[in-house]
Amino acid sequence: MKTMKAATTSALLVLGLACSWPSVAQEASITLRYSNMFPSSDPLSIVAEDWGKEVEKRTEGAVRVKYYPASTLTPPSQTYESVVKGVVDVGNALMGYSKGRFPLMAGLWENPFEYPDGLTSTRICNAAYDKFKPKELDNVKVMYFNAGPEAALLTVKKPLVALDDLKGLRIRSLDANARILSFFGATTIAMPQPEVYDALSKGMVDGVASVYSNLKSFKTADILRYSLDVRGMAFTGMFVVAMNKDKWNSIPSKYQKIIEEINREWVGKHARAHDAVEEEGRRYAASRGITITRITPQEQAKWNAKAQVLYDDYVANTKQKGLPGEELLQFVREQLKTAPR
């Protein structure tokens, strides 16, 4: 009888352990849902997806990443908020879509700095965050920042040579460059990039402030015909790859360290992807017959004169909030001195 009981107990113990093994394995594997607005074939989507693959590889599958491109999981304008609330676990969020949320860091993309390339703007954005550690990003775990080069002004029917040519045009733009464009008589309309194609095709807007890479990624080269390059466009596309804080805290520390190592590597990878797609975008624009005009020094001086108010307002607004806006501007200017030209 005792032997039978012992055998039964042993069998139940083995059965119990066997049943527990799947749950242990399941608990050890964490899945991250990653949202990005770029189409799956876009290099800026591929480099983000590769980040997830690298995380899986180097954590040996303990942390898995399910990638959602083309805004399939969350609209671009809601990506950051979706990360904060845990609707998604990771997002590559264009910070300019969250107007007013980043009063200090906004100085990096809402002021008319002349970033020569995406590598420079990416480097400076990450360095500024490391230096100032703004509390405005404390509600997420920052992975890293990535940024593109300056935008250009592209139109459908009317070529732009002088800035006064903007009078009466409806231009899709965001925040700071919208303000400058309005100084020259344009009507500015804000909308996420994935909505621009329909707006152009239906005549809702006459042109856009956009990087060249969007011409191919979002097919707007089908409609746009003219471009004017303006330096210091006062809106540089800066993104933050952010993770929900609770999700981050659920990851064992040994895997957190691995992810942070990957983040440091991906700063350069993501920046070079921005520059590569922009260079390709320019070539693509030319191949599609888009006329590209470089602004004259006289017209650039007009732009710079109007743009100065942005620096002044930024300093005043951040000072009112007790934020080191003036120090951030000086930091960026010092960083730009060593940037390639």
259-311 residue pLDDT tens: 999 999 999 999 999 999 999 999 999 999 999 999 999 999 999 999 999 99
Answer with the residue of higher pLDDT: 1 or 183: 183
pLDDT at 15: 45
Q: What is the pTM of this model?
A: 0.86
The separation between CA 127 and the C-alpha centre of its own chain, rounded to angstroms, equals 16
**Would you say 108 and 327 are in contact if contact means Cβ atoms under 8 Å apart?**
no
pLDDT at 176: 80
Compute the mean pLDDT over every residue in the chain, rounded to the nearest whole number.
91
Strand partners, 240: 93, 145
| Angstrom distance (rounded) from CA 144 to CA 130 | 10
| % pLDDT > 90, the chain | 84
Answer with the residue of higher pLDDT: 19 or 98: 98
Question: Which residue shows structure tokens 């999700």?
Answer: 247
User: CA torsion 225→172→47→253, rounded to 10°?
Assistant: 170
CATH fold of 152-235+283-322, please? D-Maltodextrin-Binding Protein; domain 2 (3.40.190)
Looking at the predicted structure, is the pLDDT value of residue 187 above 70?
yes
Q: H or E segment at 85?
A: helix 79-85
Looking at the predicted structure, is the pLDDT value of residue 9 above 80?
no
When pLDDT is cut at 50, 70 and 90, the band that residue 341 belongs to is: low
When pLDDT is cut at 50, 70 and 90, the band that residue 16 belongs to is: very low
Looking at the predicted structure, is the pLDDT value of residue 8 above 50?
no
pLDDT at 177: 85
Looking at the predicted structure, is the pLDDT value of residue 22 above 80?
no
**Can you tell me the mean pLDDT for 65-87?**
97
**Would you say 282 and 292 are in contact if contact means Cβ atoms under 8 Å apart?**
yes
When pLDDT is cut at 50, 70 and 90, the band that residue 28 belongs to is: low
**Can you tell me the mean pLDDT for 313-335?**
98
pLDDT at 150: 86
pLDDT at 90: 98
Q: For the chain, what are the domain ranges?
A: 152-235+283-322
